[in-house]
Amino acid sequence: MLLQVEKIHTCSGHNAALYALAPGRTDRHFLSAGGDGWVVEWDMDDPETGKLVASVETQCFALCALPDRNRIVAGNMNGGIHWIDRQLPELTRNVQHHKKGIYALESIGDYLFSAGGDGFLTRWDSANARTIESLQLSHQPLRALAYSEKRGEIAIGASDQSIYFLDTETLALKRVLKQAHTNSVFTLAYSSDGQYLLSGGRDAMLRVWDLENDCALRSEQPAHWYTINHLVFSPDGLLFATASRDRTIKIWDAQSFELLKVLDTLRFGGHTRSVNRLLWLSDCLVSCGDDRLAMIWKITAQ
């Protein structure tokens, strides 16, 4: 497979590193947040200037959009969750819940799930911004969440090197994949058919787990020089991308797990510091990082 890559735009304006991205109010908008505490919305048809949606006044590590409720949820470094009302941002509530930072948020049906640095996974009532239940999975931070509708399952990556599999409805622990990596598991993503779970972490390894074959290790490779911060599938499921502290984004074939393209600073005008987060929308890939920038990429398979 041949890929054509074009950087469409660089979005600047944040005053600190960016750690989080989420879909915006339409499929032509996206949200960014980071160390300056700003939640900014960008219009891909007019990306020169972002619109400040809310300021939560502390570092944001995670973002989640709740379009059905016209809300945005942000998780901060102190374990607080900000429930942001798009219509009335002055009514933003900060619910201090986790004892340490929130590293991942996932909206599933009527619920929001938060993964905390305290090792707890919490299920929230999205309509009322209230906790329903919390489960301690580890004595170390939970770093990543992934959801498979087909499997009715949530996967959680932790700094104890493990991946935890829970039933979405009951939160019953189905399986623990211990020593999945040799260091913190930073990112997880299910293939669209639910057969594979991809994982990446501080050890820079990309691993593919065959969930239909007792979580057998289908593939493993040293994908980056340093930490894999995030990975995400393309909407059609044919490609996936990884982001790393080594300042690169890599595009992979989701069938063969082979590397197709490296988006770096020199050849593509990519990020100059750690790439922390990715968001693959219907027709573009968005990245953000420690250089305070968000970048919009056009990825075309030939």
Average pLDDT over residues 4-27: 95
Query: What burial class does residue 109 get, using C-beta atoms within 10 Å of its C-beta: 0-12 exposed, 13-18 middle, 19+ buried?
Result: exposed
- Count up the domains in the chain and report the number: 1
- % pLDDT > 70, the chain: 100
Collapsing DSSP to helix, strand or coil, 99 comes out as: coil
How large is the average pLDDT for residues 184-203?
A: 96
Structural tokens at position 160: 């104890």
**Nearest partner of 206 among 195, 190, 219, judged by Cα:** 219
Q: According to the model, what pLDDT value does residue 151 have?
A: 96
CA distances from 199 to 15, 25, 175, 213, 239 (A): 30, 29, 16, 16, 15
Q: What share of the chain is helix, strand, coil (3-state, %, to 5)?
A: 5, 55, 40
Could you read off the pLDDT of 198-214 as tens digits, one per residue? 999 999 999 999 999 99
Comparing C-alpha atoms, which of 105, 96, 135, 111 is closest to residue 31? 105
Domain that includes residue 9, residue range: 3-301
CB-count burial class (<10 Å; 0-12, 13-18, 19+) for 26: exposed
Instruction: State the CATH number of the domain containing residue 224.
Output: 2.130.10.10
Give residue 187's pLDDT.
98
Q: How far apart, in whole angstroms, are the C-alpha atoms of residue 271 and residue 10?
A: 10
Long-range contact list for 182-185, CB < 8 A, 24+ apart? 183/159, 184/140, 184/141, 184/143, 184/157, 184/158, 184/159, 185/143, 185/144, 185/157, 185/158, 185/159, 185/161
Residue 175 has pLDDT above 90, yes or no: yes
- Give the global pTM: 0.95
